[in-house]
Homo-oligomer: A and B are copies of this chain.
Amino acid sequence: MRGLLVGRFQPFHRGHLATVVAVRQSHPDEPLLLGIGSAQASFTAENPFTAGERAEMIERALTEARVDGTTALPVPDIHQHSQWVAYLQGLLPPFERVYTNNPLTRLLFERDGFRVDAPPLVDRERYQGAVIRRRLVAGEPWQELVPPAVARYLESIGAADRMQRIEGRA
């Protein structure tokens, strides 16, 4: 059985990493697909990083944490929820188990007979993409909220400058 976990990963933070680690430990024999949602979007306030940059973050973070058995794949939006499950089934390699804490996502997959598990959420208040993006804009420290490899990568691509420009500053 293969698992699927979809997120926007803007950016990939410690909460995401903890979830992936937990899922891999609970089902070590099941490969895990990481769907990079809203893959078509970038350079916006909600989606500052390209799908490719997000794949790069994920790869570096998982290598650093020595997590294997995952594959990150871009998933562009289709904006039509009634086709969402069929769309993912066409786009991605076969999967049978879905990890989500979103009630609607759970509903959509359960209607089509998927097994849906709720992965653990680690320190949800603290580790949120929106918080990190806000700190990048404000010039406040954000580095400790992401894995060290992601922090280095974000610095190398000028993430704070990009966020500030997107918000019309700088």
Contact = CB atoms under 8 A, between A and B. Distances in A.
- Total identical chains: 6
Chain A at the B interface: SS class: helix
A159 interface: no
Interface in A133-170: 161-162, 164-166, 168-170
A17 interface: no
B86 A166 contact: no
A73 B73 contact: yes
A51 interface: yes
Interface residues of A, number: 45
A124 to B, nearest CB: 13
A93 B169 contact: no
Interface string A83-103: 101110111111000000011
B71 A71 contact: yes
A55 interface: yes
A165 B104 contact: yes
